[in-house]
Chain A
Amino acid sequence: MDEILSIRKDFDSKIENVSVLEKIDLIKSEFLGKKGKLTDLFKKIPNLQGEDRKNFALKLNKAKDHINSLIEKKLNELQGKEIQEKLSSERIDISLPGRPIEFGKIHPVTQVIDEVTAIFGEIGFSVAEGPDLETEFNNFTALNTPEHHPARDMHDTFYLTEDKNILLRTHTSPVQIRTMLSGKPPYQIIAPGRTYRCDSDQTHTPMFHQVEGLHIDKDINMGHLKGVLDYFIKKFFNVDKIKMRFRPSHFPFTEPSAEVDIGYEIKDGEIIIGEGNKWLEILGCGMVHPNVLRNCKVNPSLYQGYAFGMGIDRLAMLKYGINDLRSFFESDIRWLSHFGFNPLDIPASYRGFGK
């Protein structure tokens, strides 16, 4: 009987001192292996009889359970310790930066064109385009601006030919002409694009961007024009209310013509659109002049409608707080990075049109 007790004590003291995982197996085989100390005692069972045999076997099994549970416990203890040590030895500086991140950017003009397209697209407009080089006819004459008309002086034009017949378009309005000459009414288009005037100072660049709008149908009147612009400005500037003012003006290709101002104020150096008592001119518009329709073989007694034109760069400056027009076209990578847009930020009505 004492034999079992002393084996247990022997085991207890040995397992107590184990500090590395590998030793556990050794101890396990010393006591429970084929020739283990406890295993040897099991071999004595057949020699015993009756109560003795029963008691001896019981005690042996208890001792075996005891050893097994202590081994299990030690195993857990040492494995836990080992993981702990591994973890603490594998500590890294989580504050270090990762691999350099590359951000590509979309130019604000492209972004604003996409915004404008998304807004007008929702109310029936599709996008039309025309070439940058135009004939004098499409750029002026067809737009009711005959040669030597003083209105031509308002456009400083780049010419490609000595006879001044080929020029860089001074506005996107020739797209109106191309659209009407190439199809039958009704027409409902916007035409964003590059435009050119030989003018260069702080607020003018020889190239800039405009978007033209044209809606011709049987009953399109000036009330529709007001409605469409009101809708656009609210959506574009993300405001519920705007102050909008139509001022009589003159463009040879529209009659009546209007310039449109929106109310604004400056708060903490930032321009707030829609409030305040200052006025900002943002676009020109009007009812398409019957001469323009005639020049495009559209009957002005059956069809009528409006046209408008606005500066895209200017819209971008107002909306996104960009001061210098010239910087739009200088490719300074710091500017592109700051004012550019995430390429995945595709303007869409369901997400709104803010930055």
Chain B
Amino acid sequence: MKFTKSWLSDHLKTSATLEQIEKTLNEIGLEVENIDKGGESFFKVAKILKASKHPNADKLKVCEVDTGKRVVQVVCGANNARDGLFTVFASPGAIIPKNQLKIKITNIRGIESNGMLCSESELNISEESSGIIELSKNKKIGESFFSSNNEPLIDISVTPNRSDCLGVYGIARDLSAKGLGSLKEIKKIDIKNKIKNPFKVTIEKNSGCSAFSYCYIEGVKNIESPKWLKDKILSVGLRPISAIVDITNYIMIDLNRPLHAYDADKISKKHVIVRLSKKNEKFNALDDKEYKLEEGNCLITDKDKILGLGGIIGGASTGVSEKSKNILIESALFEPSLTSKTSKKLGINSDASFRFARGVDKNMMVYGSQLAAKLIQEICGGKISNVLISGEKIFNPRKIIFNLSKFSKIIGIPITVKEAIDILKKLGFRINLKKETLNLEVPSWRPDIVEDIDVVEEIIRIKGYDKIKLIEPNQGTVKKDILSFGQKIQRSFLRSIANQGFFQTITYSFTDSKVDTIFKDENKNLYLKNPISSDQNYLRSSLFSNLFSHLRNNINRNFYNQKIFECGPVFSSNKPGDQSLILAGIQSGKLNEKSWIDKNKEVSFYDIKNYVFKALIENGFLEKDLLINQTEDTFYHPAKSCKLNYNSNNFLIASFGEFSPKILKDLDIKISPVFGFELFLNNIESILQKNKFKNKFQISNYQKVERDFSFIIDKETEVGNIIFELKKLNEDIIKKIRVFDVFDGENVEKNKKSVALNFEFQSNEKTLAEKEIDEISKKIINTLEGSFKATLRS
């Protein structure tokens, strides 16, 4: 909401400075977004420095535009946009006079556009719409295109509950309540020599319009607005159009009372019907666009045609022009939620719909049409009819019983009856005091105030939030663990993996469906209905999809050695809660940087295995419970990947391995191999929570003995199985088995491999005798030869 100090003075008698006004506005919740002191206009003279073809659209150009203060990039569709052209630039925030659309920074086919270059027709200067305005080269770049009175423009952001402050009068009222001045009374309107209102308005049931007041003015001349009105309109960044249009805009901004003026001669049979739209009805609006309507929009119609979308935009067929002689002024009440729904659905965000969606002061309806008629008569001449109202005529105020103790209970400080009454009165409440209880009538312009808590807010808002007394928090009143078990597990794993040289990253929870489906089957339910772009159109079902895109970006910057991981949700359906927490990492490039000390080592499956095992064991798993199985994941190299199950095989804990070269090709990853792992933290959490793994701690006082065995087995035989079986031979004495050599090739028969194991024997009860060591060694050899068809080498 934009206004100037002088406009404010129309309603507020004050000697406050601009700075005091700004400070007070902030204090009462009307946040000042900006004060434009330069009298800067949204429409400036600008020069196109360079106009080049849009890379993704044949008919568009990307222009570098010098706007005086800075050079901005603008996407433009005009044929005449070219290097060196002087034209008019509308900056973000500008409202285009023709269609009342607000300019925003947008992305047009992948290129950011920071404003718009305007045609004469868009600025309502002429009908010329074939290209952007061409100005002479002696214009000063950066200068306002429209002349303005250079008064500072105050821009406040009005929260959705404060529709009353979408009018300057409401702002003045709030400031006066805070003591910044006194509110001037609104002038009564006295119209003499009224003619009879020849129009009839019928409101159909449940049509989204609760009341419709209207006034007929006969014999006007819709001339240019007088200077005072043009200046007002210009001072808030709008463009004057004609007296009648300017008057309706003026009243809307002044009193938050949207109005619409019809060319009365174009309404057939002098009969207006307010009804709901039917499916597929078409409507040509004032913005020169045709809208195809759905069922249930509020329409202003006559017998033959649609005159306007109620509370949103007028129709082209009955709009006023300089030729209009007879005028019908509409001042109506449209249902907030239907207005909001319709304007969103059709994408029309007009000043009127914005106000109706938030709720207007019902008691201003009739006054608005009277004021408009009076001003039109003053400027354009004509005779004014009486105001007729269809629909609701009397609006009973909302009543609230307010107990003052509520205030201190919520705010923490007391308030006197006098102070509370004083504040509420200034805000327009009617008060009937009974002891500590106030019987309140809520002012008609505050539809947001419905119960006592809203009154508490009003009082403290005006009294000042700075008066709230700070209460120090208690320390150490923890009744519950700060973190749940699962939250602790998540944090430990994060830091455990990072501590093994991985960089934690965070990527979006959505991804490119084409990439995600490489890792998991497509799930139709995971598509976003309104994605920002096609490469972010799908809720991820694997963390690898985004990790790979980012890995590729780093590789393209020539960073090859990467260890990155993410811990976050993946989704399995569109049901809230159908998500699981995964920690996934990938590693590419060499194991270490180039160094004089070590050769560049290749990353191997066993490095990845170690990261996973270290994290799991650090966090409480026992190595013996981690069972290695074949993984079903097809994105891994089938022979160099696996999954880990916990003990009974029910729970999947992790999977890891080398990625299949095929998916690297599909993902356009130019280096290989790449390795990855996933830790399934939800499963890990439930296992660890149920089981407390503890290794018995017992120190043996007796000597340990080591023995080595080396043997030849079939290449296919898994050493892990051998160790698993051998350990079982005597768990009391075999303390450790280490694999210290594995090789095939030279001196080893084809399809065989040589393996060497180192055993650590130790008893907790005695020093092992040679005989006992021989015995266990024999058992080992028997198992090797018997169960694994091993041939002993030594």
Contact = CB atoms under 8 A, between A and B. Distances in A.
B482 interface: yes
A227 B461 CA distance: 19
B78 to A, nearest CB: 24
B435 interface: no
A329 interface: yes
A328 B595 CA distance: 31
B553 A331 contact: yes
A231 B473 contact: yes
Interface in A232-266: 245-250, 252, 255-259
B568 A247 contact: no
B741 interface: no
Interface stretch (B115-123, B228-236, B506-514, B664-672): B506-514
Contact of B475 (A123, A151, A161, A259): A123
Interface string A141-181: 00000111111011000111110101010000000000000
B564 A114 contact: no
Nearest to B162: A250
Contact of B598 (A99, A188, A222): A99
A166 B470 CA distance: 40
Given A121-B482, A223-B471, A340-B503, A249 B159 contact: yes
Contacts of A344: 495, 499
Contact of A223 (B461, B470, B574): B470
A270 interface: no
Interface string B372-397: 00000000000000000000000000
Given A100-B595, A149-B160, A256 B576 contact: no
B340 A107 contact: no
Interface stretch (A37-45, A47-55, A79-87, A130-138): A130-138
Interface stretch (A16-24, A28-36, A66-74, A192-200): A192-200
B473 A224 contact: yes
B40 to A, nearest CB: 22
Nearest to A230: B470
A210 interface: no
A133 B505 CA distance: 21
Interface in B730-783: none
A106 interface: yes
Contacts of B465: 245-248, 258
B476 interface: yes
**Which of B473, B479, B536, B597 has the most CB atoms of chain A within a 10 A radius of its CB?**
B473
A147 B501 contact: no
A104 B500 contact: yes
A94 interface: no
Interface stretch (B24-32, B238-246, B254-262, B631-639): B24-32
A146 B563 CA distance: 46
B576 A133 contact: yes
A109 B508 CA distance: 13
A256 B162 contact: no
A158 B530 contact: yes
Contact of B506 (A146, A287, A328): A328
A147 B337 CA distance: 8
A271 interface: no
Nearest to B581: A129
Nearest to A313: B506
Nearest to B501: A102
B361 interface: no
A105 B503 contact: yes
B509 A132 contact: yes
* Count class of interface residues, chain A: 35 or more
B530 A331 contact: no
B457 A122 contact: no
A247 B32 CA distance: 11
B559 A333 contact: yes
A127 B483 contact: yes
A151 B476 CA distance: 37
Contact of B491 (A114, A135, A198, A201): A114
A64 interface: no
Given A133-B578, A198-B532, A200-B532, A106 B494 contact: yes
A133 B579 contact: yes
A177 B27 CA distance: 30
A343 B26 contact: no
A227 B576 contact: no
A303 to B, nearest CB: 11
A289 B410 CA distance: 11
Contacts of B461: 248, 256
Interface stretch (B132-140, B448-456, B712-720): B448-456
Interface in B320-370: 336-338, 340-341, 344, 357-358
B340 A227 contact: no
A289 B452 CA distance: 11
Given A107-B506, A223-B411, A160 B529 contact: yes
B564 A333 contact: yes
A284 B662 CA distance: 49
A319 interface: no
B507 A329 contact: yes
A224 B593 CA distance: 54
Among B28, B482, B525, B554, max chain A CB count under 10 A is at B482
Contacts of A114: 491
Contacts of B506: 107, 109-110, 328-329
Nearest to A123: B473
A231 B503 contact: no
A1 interface: no
A346 interface: yes
A195 to B, nearest CB: 10
Contact of A117 (B27, B480, B483, B508): B483
B105 interface: yes
Interface in B269-328: none
B728 interface: no
B190 interface: no
A344 B500 CA distance: 11
A95 B115 CA distance: 58
A132 B501 CA distance: 29
A231 B472 contact: yes
Interface string B20-41: 0000001111010000000000
B482 A127 contact: yes
A337 interface: yes
A252 B161 CA distance: 8
A161 B412 contact: no
B495 A133 contact: no
A58 interface: no
Contacts of B547: 331
B457 A256 contact: yes
Interface in B148-179: 159-162
Contact of A124 (B338, B344, B478, B501): B478
B468 A103 contact: no
Given A133-B571, A150-B358, A97 B160 contact: no
Contact of B568 (A194, A255, A340): A194
Interface of A: 96-100, 102-107, 109-110, 114, 117, 121-127, 129, 131-135, 138, 146-151, 153-154, 158-162, 164, 166, 168, 188, 194, 196, 198, 200-201, 205-207, 219, 221-224, 226-228, 230-231, 245-250, 252, 255-259, 287, 289-290, 304, 328-334, 336-337, 340, 343-344, 346
15 contacts: A100-B592, A104-B500, A107-B504, A129-B487, A132-B571, A133-B574, A153-B344, A166-B574, A222-B411, A246-B466, A247-B26, A247-B31, A248-B28, A257-B457, A329-B507
Given A158-B528, A168-B528, A248-B460, 5 more contacts: A109-B506, A135-B576, A150-B340, A223-B471, A227-B471
Interface of B: 26-29, 31, 105, 107, 112, 159-162, 336-338, 340-341, 344, 357-358, 409-413, 451, 453-454, 456-457, 460-461, 465-466, 468-484, 487, 491, 494-510, 525-532, 536, 539, 547, 550-551, 553-554, 557, 559, 562-564, 568-569, 571, 574-579, 592-593, 595-598
Question: Which 4 residue pairs of A and B lie closest in terms of their CB atoms, listed nearest first?
Answer: A248-B29, A223-B412, A250-B159, A102-B501
